[in-house]
Amino acid sequence: MGEVAKIRIEGKDLELPTIVGTENEKAVDISALRAQTGYITIDEGFVNTGSTQSAICFLDGEQGILRYRGYPIEELCEKCDFVEVSYLLMYGELPNAQQLEHFRSSLRRHTMLHEDMRMFYNGFPRDAHPMAILSSVVGALSTFYQDSLDPKNPQEVEMSIFRLMAKLPTIAALSHKKSIGQPFMYPKNSLEYVENFLYMMFAVPSEDYQLDSDFVEALNLLFIVHADHEQNCSTSTVRMVGSSDANLFASISAGICALWGPLHGGANQACVEMLEAIKADGGNSKKYIDMAKDKKSGFRLMGFGHRVYKNYDPRATIIKRTCDKLLKKLKIKDPIFDIAQELEQAALSDPYFIERKLYPNVDFYSGIIYRAMGFPVEMFTVLFALGRLPGWIAHWREMQMSPSKKIARPRQIYNGPAKRSFIPLHERK
């Protein structure tokens, strides 16, 4: 028997069991609390509340550790490509050669969009944000693939996973082509996953397209470091929507919407826009550090701070290294990279940031690499979504397979008016 938490409420004593995870994280199990005491707990923003037990991702925010299914992120970045890591996240183990080949070829088979779905793009305004297009088209997959919507049917789930993983890069690349008025490029299934996406994004029918192996390597790495991050806002959204037995496409479409916000995945776009603004303002980083410290300014340093990491985000370390390497190789002297480094140095030596344990997060340097590769800023959060997709699917699947699955339905404390008499319209002031 492990530790027991004891609480006393209204003269009643209650013992609550505790749970200890693989890495010694500890929780008090309050599932009996309301039934036995009438009390609930309140924890705005879920700062202290675990929503589930999960075997997919471990992160230690104090020590800056991130592991997928037990494997350190640094090692996966070095030894795997994104498709292999996706398999690991979704199915729990690294694939053997045969399993990997089967997975790759299943993804290859489903890359095209239904031609009617392609027509959707004619209806979107040219300046539509690609995240809005992404969530709409993913939601619409459930209108085209009604044969694979049952979350309780393993074959149907498997089919939706292949369709979604295979089609998301196509959906994303089409939204970019639409915004710049170029012809859509059909997927080329002789190419690997990341290569195919780069091809659909940047090739044009009138010219040969040469893939750059450094771009392929950098994008594989960026997708891997974004692939999962346990119960973050968008993943929790996917799980919450899926908890009602909504189909995979509907659940992921909701997750894409959650990711879009600037406090979450949208921060990569917001961060590059902030660095641009600092550059346009003469490159005075100190002014922006001071603004970020002044609560009245309403300004936050984008790409800094994290709900869980109170140390350097290990993903930021990996990305910064790649960023440096790619800019050197491309011989790009990007002034916003210099501003970012200056800002980082200034923030890391400032008591405000030190006391609050605010460090660069995954979004701080990723945008600079995306920009160097030629992605427009509106596509940055879409790239995050492409990377996060296997993590979302893994969590949705883990939840569907859990024997203890329940619809997610938080409680509240009502603090509106007490019961009162209705006032007829003619008597209202």
- With H, G, I as helix, E, B as strand and everything else as coil, classify residue 69: coil
Measured from the CB atom, the residue of 229 and 397 that comes closer to ligand ACO is: 229
Q: Which stretch binds ligand ACO (CB under 6 A): 52-60, 155-163, 264-272, 400-408?
A: 264-272
Using CB under 6 A, which of 67, 264, 320, 371 touches ligand ACO?
264
**How many of the chain's residues bind ligand ACO (CB under 6 A)?**
18
| Closest C-alpha among 376, 343, 128, 377 to residue 272 | 377
Specify the DSSP class assigned to residue 182: P
- CA-to-CA distance for 369 and 10, rounded, in angstroms? 58
Q: How far is the CB of 407 from ligand ACO (least distance, A)?
A: 26
Specify the DSSP class assigned to residue 185: P
Q: Which stretch binds ligand ACO (CB under 6 A): 75-83, 103-111, 259-267, 416-424?
A: 259-267
Strand ranges of the sheet holding 71-72, from the earlier edge strand across to the other edge: 57-60, 65-68, 71-72
Q: How far is the CB of 355 from ligand ACO (least distance, A)?
A: 9
| Closest C-alpha among 305, 307, 317, 314 to residue 358 | 305
State residue 234 phi and psi, 5-degree precision: -70, -40
- CA-to-CA distance for 402 and 400, rounded, in angstroms? 6
Q: Binding string, 299-328, against ligand ACO, x = CB under 6 A?
A: -xxxxxxxx---------------------
Q: Is residue 293 packed enough to be buried (19+ CB in 10 Å), middle (13-18) or exposed (0-12)? A: middle
Residues in region 337-396 near ligand ACO by CB under 6 A: 356, 358, 361-363
Measured from the CB atom, the residue of 287 and 356 that comes closer to ligand ACO is: 356
Give Cα 184 distance to the centre of its chain: 26
Q: How far is the CB of 299 from ligand ACO (least distance, A)?
A: 8
Tokens at 280, concatenated: 């346009």
Q: Binding string, 279-298, against ligand ACO, x = CB under 6 A?
A: -------------x------
Beta bridge partners of 20: 26
Please say if 110 is a catalytic residue. Answer: no
- CA-to-CA distance for 254 and 212, rounded, in angstroms? 33
Specify the DSSP class assigned to residue 311: S
Q: How far is the CB of 77 from ligand ACO (least distance, A)?
A: 17
Tell me which of 129, 264, 306, 395 is the catalytic residue: 306
The residue with its CB nearest to ligand ACO is 305
Q: How far is the CB of 306 from ligand ACO (least distance, A)?
A: 5
State the DSSP H helix or E strand holding residue 199, giving kind and residue range, or none if neither.
Answer: helix 193-202
Please say if 306 is a catalytic residue. Answer: yes
Strand ranges of the sheet holding 26-28, from the earlier edge strand across to the other edge: 4-9, 12-20, 26-28
Q: Which stretch binds ligand ACO (CB under 6 A): 54-62, 177-185, 241-249, 263-271?
A: 263-271
For residue 238, state whether it binds ligand ACO (rule: CB under 6 A).
no
Q: How far is the CB of 258 from ligand ACO (least distance, A)?
A: 10
Tell me which of 81, 228, 313, 363 is the catalytic residue: 363
Residues in region 154-213 near ligand ACO by CB under 6 A: none
Tokens at 358, concatenated: 């605010």
Tell me the DSSP string of 135-181.
HHHHHHHHHH-GGG--TT-HHHHHHHHHHHHHHHHHHHHHHHHHHHT
Measured from the CB atom, the residue of 92 and 262 that comes closer to ligand ACO is: 262
State the DSSP H helix or E strand holding residue 368, giving kind and residue range, or none if neither.
Answer: helix 363-372
Q: Which stretch binds ligand ACO (CB under 6 A): 84-92, 182-190, 245-253, 260-268?
A: 260-268
Catalog residues that contact ligand ACO under the rule CB under 6 A. Answer: 263-265, 267, 292, 300-307, 356, 358, 361-363
Residues designated as active site = 306, 363
